[in-house]
Amino acid sequence: MAKNVTEKKVITEKKSNNLKRQGVLYFWSALFVAYGIIFCYIPLVGWIMAFQEYKPNTGLLGSKFVGMAKFTRLFSDPMFIRVIRNTLAMGVLNLVTTFTMAIVFAILLNEITHSKSKKVVQTISYLPHFLSWIIVTAILHDALSSTGIVNELLLKFGIVKQAINFFAHEEYFWPIVAFANVWKETGWNAIIYLAAITAIDPSLYEAAAIDGAGRWDKIKYVTLPGIKPTIIILLIMNIGNVLNAGFEIQYILGNGLIQQVSQTIDIYVLKWGISQMDYSLGTAAGIFKSAVSIVLIVICNQVAKKHGEERLY
Amino acid sequence: MSKEITPKKRKASTGDIIFHICNGIFMVLFVVITLYPVLNTLAISLNDGLDALRGGIYLIPRKFSIKNYTTVLQKDNLMIGAYVTVARTLIGTALSLVANAILAFVVSRKNFAYAKQLSLFWVITMYVNGGMIPIFLLYKSLHLTNSFLVYVIPGMISAFNMLVIRTYMKGIPDSLEESAQLDGAGYTKIFIDIISPLCKPVYATVALFVAVYQWNSWFDAMLYNRQKSNLTTLQYELMKLLSSVTNQSSSAEAMKNSSSAITPTSIRAAASIITMLPIICIYPFLQQYFVSGLTLGGVKE
Amino acid sequence: MKKKVVSMLLASCMILGALTGCGGGSSEGKSGGKSGDGGVKEFTAFFSVPGSEINDDNEIQQIIAEKTGVKVKETWLTGQTAEEAIGTLIAGGEYPDFVDAGDGSIQMYEAGALVALDDYIDKYPNIKEFFTDQEWDSLRQSDGKIYWIPQFSNIYGEERTCTHNDEAFWIQARVLEWANYPQIHTMDQYFDLIEKYAKENPTMEDGTPVIPYTILCDDWRYFCLENAPQFLDGYPNDGSVIVDVDNKKIVDYNTTDTAVKYFKKLNEEYKKGIVDPESFTQTYDEYIAKLSTGRVLGMIDQWWDFAYTAEDALKSAGLDAKGCQYVPLPITIEEGMSNQWHNSGGIVHTSSGLAITTSCKDVEGALQFVDDLLSQEIHDLRFWGVKDVDYQVGDDGMYKKTPEMRSNDADTAYKASHKCEYSYFPQWSGTSRDNKNAMKPEGQEQEFYDGLSDSLKKCFMAYGVETYVEMLGTTPAPGPWYPMYTYSQTMTTATPGGTAWNLMDECKHMYLPKVVMADDFDAGWAEYMNAYNACKPEDFLAEMQTELDRRISEAAKYSN
């Protein structure tokens, strides 16, 4: 009896203590929420543009309301449906390739025991990140041209009889975009995983070695589980971004012959929205993208929750 | 190759050796493929501009010239731009790192009741965007336009970076916090003295992300500080050189009267290399934090 | 260690405080013609096109500032589209003093951002002189007032053009020389010559194969493929349609018999391997690279699109001596037709121009500056440069350049630090007020001819001409409606015609390459026509007809 009472007392004391102790947490939370509302949520007022025929001279307050007209226009346009397909396809392909490549690269790099070569390799690996798309795509275009290195190799090894015009065929475009992304971003994306790997307790590797684990076992049972929370968080965040498959690279690499597969939502918005002085259409497309993103991350988050994994919120 | 492999254990298994060889080959291939665009850009930047137009330059300049670099470096506001860029990179990174770390710390506390809601609040910001015009109006009414603050204040918190730090912090055993609590430490002390020192690798990562973001930014300079040449940034000055080719929807009529504005490939290449250099120089200092793992030994159970 | 981190963070926060303090404090705007150092007024200007900025200490800008007391800081479009830039400008409500909003000009006017110029124009003789009353009237907006001054293609005195700045079938001078300078008037003759030459000379000296004919198709530059049928039929560059001069009706050049013949010819040549198989996938850079190596024997393009890049590269590689430079040919679909590849006379591009915004605090000062820029002395400084530095004056009073001066003109760095054209301010072409020189160096015949390579001189001599323009012949613009593209350019999806116009554009981008590459041309063409007709071109043509009628009746008011 007496024991119970003291226990209860301890708990309530702990709670009030907690609240008092947590005062600083509440303080920061309030501050960050205020900041977030000002800089991230207030601008969302701009979303009413999607329901207007927005004109800069009349502004947000004075422009004519058109209801859902912009959305109806988007979804009744077969071209928009097609760019959604393209965006999704490239988004998923890019996600799968860049994501796995970054993890594989981080793990393999971590396996290099010679620390100098490790540093050199890593420094080189992230350099392409700093080249603009204009430059990277120019080099890629060059490499894939009829006299470029790729065709030269294919011809030399007799894989093809005649140079392939890679940019004239729809089926090559998505893989080329995925490759370009891998090429440019693998090293950069790996940085995060390398940081996560540093957090793994070295004694775990030693313990695994004592248990007779080989290299693959160590990767499988120590490294991968060690960076799993990071992988899952990044995966969920990136899944939310599949509709942001890009603009520049598709714009530069695309051409009339393959425009059916090369155009993304952002290109569509530029051509049919902004270039036509129709600012509202872009906002409507943006809202659509946001909605898809949020639905996707909610689903992923639920799945992660179900499996007891790390989750976004 | 085999020389580089210095097995820690006295006896390396055949499997290990095969693995190392394969890994070595993979890395060499990887390095060759990723290095190529950079070297190619470098070669073009060191080639005579008119000659470079003919294409066909791979790794070695055909007609060597440093004129592209002098042309770029002679650009007027480049020094002011460089100064502003350095300032915004230093200040922006420091500010952003502190803010993201504190926020990550708050939302990673297990017994904080609103951690989940606060996370969600920030997660959403990653996927919604009010659009250029409302944001412009907001900054204007906050007097952030035509001021240095617009570079460091609005983008201070990034949900992405915050979540990266949070994930890392969650990996730190609770026992550390609990024992510190028993010693009477408040959250501020726990954050500064217990958690942060352990988070150095992730801090370094996020610092790098923010620094690179700040270093490469030019859109804000163009949008909010266009009329203030003393607040220009390095990247904006360089972007002006690139603008004629990046401009997305042009027309024959517009180009006809400004045709001489097309920037030669070689100057674009030189501008890119100039951008890259400082970041390459900073990187090795940050690298030590995440290439060779920190020894957290004994911390984990 | 822990302490170090903390103190570093604290220190950086302090630096922040200090720096932002000074950043905020120094945010004094200097717009609206405020006097800077030495009593020079400073104005700002924004042009919604990409352009090259000049240095702050630019020499000629300084000279102009000393003479006029005004200096203008110009900014150009960077990394945005013109529409986005104008959209944010209007939303923000703060403008530079001068602006050329391009297609957004109407929006600027509707937003009340521009100053009406009517009350001012008469006070400034050089501005007043810039247009005739009819031309000024054509610039009036819906409220009857004038808000902007179109800057380009305005001819003073006698017209002086040497280069053909527009579109043509081009061919390398060496190909013509090889065939002993034949008369080439039709596509058949043109391709016949190219075929024969390529057969005899399949490679360059270094062994790389020649590319007989290439077509630039990159994004908006696909006019090199698309709009030739209007010229082949003997019509000028109305850009989007043909205007039948006899009955004043709009004709769609995409579906004419000539168009079919033209694409069929390209299709045949493609199958023969004469048309570069990479035509439809190459980027602009790759195209320029090909031209710069001298491998390409011929193509259709507009002069400005390759002259300042590929032609200069050819010269620097010494390929001009080998006759790799391009000469335009007067080609039409049938022999004996008159062509209008080149039109004489200026074009008032009424849809946009230089405007002064309501943010400008010294409108009179701004206009005085524009007036000064049009005076002969300043105009010469802008386009010819400084006497004895950029040009010399001969005993006969004619301006000329030394080879060194010419090479300076092509030097990016030199231009940025020395030359200041104020290139988006109003300017003249034609003849200078001294009645001798041309307003701009490119119109100076002797100077132009002296700058030519020997192979071009030889070629011109063989045809008995002295300029590119004479290679083609020239005719005045066909009527007051010309050019129609100034209207089609401003069309948006807000009207059915504008929607059709954009759909047609999309359709042509995709199908024209397919048609040229088709195994069975007729089937390919039929498929294209199906897709094309689905875009409802009739909506577009109807709106163009309305505009044509409007322009004709507008012009009729002045004819008596």
- pLDDT tens digits, C321-368: 999 999 999 999 999 999 999 998 888 888 889 999 999 999 999 999
Please name the residues in contact with B142: beta carbons below 8 A apart, sequence gap of 6 or more.
A38
Query: What distance in Å separates the CA atoms of residue C208 and residue C196, rounded to the nearest whole number?
Result: 18
- Interchain contact, A252 vs C283, CB within 8 Å: yes
Pairwise CB contact (< 8 Å): C81 & A270:
yes
Instruction: Give yes or no: residues A296 and A153 share one domain.
Output: yes
The C-alpha atoms of residue C298 and residue C207 are separated, in whole angstroms, by 19
- For residue C31, name the pLDDT band (cuts at 50, 70, 90): very low
Is A294–B280 a contact, with Cβ atoms under 8 angstroms apart?
no
Query: Is residue A118 domain-shared with residue A253, that is, in the same domain?
Result: yes
The enclosing domain of A220 has a CATH number of 1.10.3720.10
- pLDDT at residue C210, rounded to an integer: 95
Answer for the pair A177, A91: CB distance below 8 angstroms, yes or no: no
Q: How far apart are CA B154 and CA B156, in angstroms?
A: 6
Sort strands C475-476 and C343-344 into parallel, antiparallel or unpaired: parallel
Instruction: Look at residue C29 and tell me whether its pLDDT is greater than 50.
Output: no
Share of chain B above pLDDT 90, in %: 43
A151 located within any domain: yes
Please give the pLDDT value at position C297: 97
Instruction: Indicate whether A250 belongs to any domain.
Output: yes
Q: What is the pLDDT of residue A216?
A: 85
Nearest by CB: A28 against B8, B102, B111: B102
CA B176-B189-B159 angle, 5° bins = 85
Let me know whether A90 and A154 are in one domain.
yes
With a cut of 50, which residues of chain A have pLDDT below it?
A: 1
pLDDT of residue A10: 54
The reply to whether residue A32 touches residue B157, judged by beta carbons under 8 angstroms, is yes
Q: Which residues of C touch B53 (CB under 8 A)?
A: 288-289, 292, 309-310, 313
Number of helices (H), then strands (E), in chain A: 16, 2
Measured in angstroms, the CA of B108 and the nearest CA of chain A are apart by 10
Residues of C in contact with B91 (CB under 8 A): 12, 15-16, 19-20
Question: Which of A168, A272, A275 is closest, CB to CB, to C280?
Answer: A168
**What's the pLDDT band for B291 if we cut at 50, 70, 90?**
low
Q: What does the block give as tokens for C41?
A: 């007024």
A39 touches chain B (CB under 8 A): yes
Q: Which residues in chain B are closer than 8 Å to A191, comparing Cβ atoms?
A: 205, 208, 290
Residue A85 lies in a domain: yes
Confidence (pLDDT) at B282: 77
User: Residue C499 contacts by C-beta under 8 Å, 6 or more apart in sequence?
Assistant: C493, C536, C539
CA torsion through residues C463, C469, C475, C481, sign = positive
pLDDT at B174 (0 to 100): 87
Q: Is residue C30 very low, low, confident or very high in pLDDT (cuts 50, 70, 90)?
A: very low
Q: Which pair of tokens denotes residue A135?
A: 């430059």
Check pLDDT > 80 for residue C559: no
Does residue B199 share a domain with residue B50?
A: no
C207 inside 8 A of chain B by CB = no
Residues A227 and A106 reside in one and the same domain: yes
Please give the tally of structural domains in chain A.
2
Whether the pLDDT of residue C57 is over 80: the answer is yes
Q: Quick one: pLDDT at residue C560?
A: 61
Helical pair A2-21 and A23-36, crossing angle rounded to 10 deg: 40
Is the Cβ–Cβ distance between A138 and A167 less than 8 Å?
no
What is the predicted pLDDT for the residue at B297? Answer: 34
pLDDT score, position A148: 86
Sign of CA dihedral C418, C423, C426, C432: positive
Based on the domain organization, do A39 and A173 belong to the same domain?
no
* CATH number where B224 lies: 1.10.3720.10
* Exposure letters C416-452 (e unless 16+ CB within 10 A, then b): bbbbbbbbbbbbbbbbbeeeebbbbbbbbeebbeebb
B27 Cα to chain C: minimum distance (Å): 32
Average pLDDT over all residues of chain A: 89
- Domain span including residue A261: 78-306
Confidence of residue C176 (pLDDT cuts 50, 70, 90): very high
Partner residue facing A113 (CB), from B5, B102, B116: B5
Cβ-Cβ contacts under 8 Å, C79 against chain B: 218-219, 222, 239, 242-243, 246-247
Task: Pick the closest to residue A189 from A94, A267, A276, A281 (CA basis).
Answer: A94
CA distances from B145 to B124, B157, B231 (A): 26, 19, 11
Contacts of A46 in chain B (CB under 8 A): 130-131, 133-135
Question: Please, what is the average pLDDT of chain C?
Answer: 89
Q: Which stretch of A63-67, A99-103, C26-30, C423-427 has the lowest confidence by average pLDDT? A: C26-30
On whether both A270 and A133 belong to a single domain, the answer is: yes
B159 in the same domain as B87: yes
Residue A23 to chain B, least CA–CA distance (Å):
9
Per-residue pLDDT tens over the stretch A165-195: 999 999 999 999 999 999 999 999 998 998 8
Q: What is the pLDDT of residues C218-230, one digit of tens each?
A: 888 899 999 999 9
Q: Which of A71, A135, A26, B253 is nearest to C102 (CA)?
A: B253
Q: Both A118 and A32 in a single domain?
A: no
Question: What would the pLDDT profile of B78-124 be if each residue is shown by its tens digit?
Answer: 889 999 999 999 999 999 999 999 999 999 998 898 999 999 999 99
Same domain, B92 and B237: yes
C-beta atoms of C46 and B226 within 8 A: yes
CA distance B293 to C1: 17
Strand partners, C100: C47
pLDDT digits 0-9 by tens, B200-236: 889 988 998 999 899 988 889 988 988 788 899 998 8
Please say if the pLDDT value at position B284 is more than 80: no
Is there a single domain that holds both residue B236 and residue B104? yes
C-alpha of C427 from chain center: 15
In order of their start, the domains of chain C are 34-159+347-448 (3.40.190.10), 167-341+454-478 (3.40.190.10)
Could you tell me which chains touch chain A, where touching means 3 or more CB pairs under 8 A? B, C
Q: Are residues B256 and B108 in the same domain?
A: yes
Give tens-digit pLDDT for B135-167. Answer: 999 999 999 999 999 999 999 999 999 999 999
Detail the DSSP E strand segments found in A60-182.
Answer: 64-65
For the cut 70, the answer to whether the pLDDT of residue B296 exceeds it is no
Q: Domain residues for B36?
A: 2-68
Do A30 and A89 share a domain, yes or no? no
C123: alpha, beta or left? (left if phi > 0; alpha if psi -120 to 50): alpha
Report how far residue C421's alpha carbon sits from residue C432's, in angstroms, rounded to the nearest whole number: 16
Co-location of A34 and A132 in the same domain: no
pLDDT of residue C413: 76
- Do C163 and C472 form a contact (C-beta atoms < 8 A)? no
How far is Cα C163 from Cα C444, in angstroms, rounded to an integer?
10
CB neighbours of C489 closer than 8 A, spacing ≥ 6? B251, B253, C103, C239, C351
User: Is C91 within 8 Å of chain B by CB?
Assistant: yes
Whether A38 maps to a domain, the answer reads yes
Helices (H) and strands (E) in chain C, counts: 26, 18
A277 located within any domain: yes
Question: Does A181 share its domain with A223?
Answer: yes
* Least CB–CB distance from B240: residue in C29, C53, C80: C53
Same domain for B119 and B253, yes or no, is yes
Q: Which residues of C touch B261 (CB under 8 A)?
A: 50-52, 76
What pLDDT band is residue B8 in, cutting at 50, 70 and 90? very low
Interface test with B, best of A127, A219, A283 (most B CBs within 10 A): A127
Q: A176: distance to nearest CA of chain C, Å?
A: 14
Question: Looking at the structure, do residues B248 and B100 belong to the same domain, yes or no?
Answer: yes
Per-residue pLDDT, C13 = 41
- Residue at A61 is within a domain: no
Please indicate, yes or no, whether residues A229 and A83 belong to a single structural domain of this protein: yes
One domain, residues B130 and B161? yes
Residues of C in contact with A145 (CB under 8 A): 278, 282, 286
Q: How far apart are CA A285 and CA A50, in angstroms?
A: 8
What is the value of pTM for the model shown? Answer: 0.88
Residue B13 has pLDDT above 80, yes or no: no
* C152 pLDDT above the threshold of 60: yes
Contact status of A43 with chain C (Cβ, < 8 Å): no
* Within-domain flag for A313: no
User: Per-residue confidence at C269, pLDDT binned at 50, 70, 90?
Assistant: very high
Candidates C281, C491, C528: best to mutate against A (most CBs of A within 10 A) is: C281
Q: What is the pLDDT of residue B278?
A: 82
**Whether residue A105 sits in one domain with residue A145:** yes
Residue A103 CA to residue A231 CA, distance in Å, equals 8
Has residue B116 been placed in a domain?
Answer: yes
- For residue B247, what are its two tokens? 């401009």
Same domain as B144, residue B23: no
Is residue C73 over pLDDT 60?
A: yes
Q: Which residue of A has its CA nearest to C505?
A: A256
Cβ-based neighbours of C364, under 8 Å, separated by 6 or more: C120, C123
Determine contact: A256 vs chain C, CB below 8 A: yes
The DSSP secondary-structure symbol of C323 reads: T
pLDDT at C232 over 80: yes
Interface of C with B in 27-56 (CB under 8 A): 27, 29, 31, 44, 46, 49-53, 55-56
Residues of chain A by 3-state class (helix, strand, coil), percent to 5:
80, 0, 20
Query: Is B189 found in the same domain as B217?
Result: yes
Q: Does A66 touch chain C (CB under 8 A)?
A: no
Q: Name every residue whose Cβ is closer than 8 Å to that of residue C395 and which is 6 or more positions away in sequence.
A: none
Is there a contact between C88 and B136 if contact means CB atoms under 8 Å apart?
yes
- Residue A174 falls inside a structural domain: yes
Within 10 Å of residue A214's Cβ, how many Cβ atoms? 14
Q: Is residue B117 domain-shared with residue B226, that is, in the same domain? A: yes
Angstrom distances, CA of residue C371 to CA of C74, C151, C367: 18, 13, 6
Same domain, B259 and B121: yes
Residues 6+ apart with CB under 8 A from B53: B264, B265, C288, C289, C292, C309, C310, C313
Number of domains, chain B:
2
Tell me which chain A residue has its CA closest to the CA of residue C107: A57
3-state helix, strand, coil in chain B (%, to 5): 70, 0, 30
Chain C residue at shortest CA distance from B248? C81
Q: What is the DSSP string of B29-83?
A: HHHHHHHHHHHHHHHHHTB-HHHHTT----SS-SSB--HHHHHHHT-TTHHHHHH
Neighbours of C96 (CB within 10 A): 23
Rounded CA separation A96/A239 (Å): 10
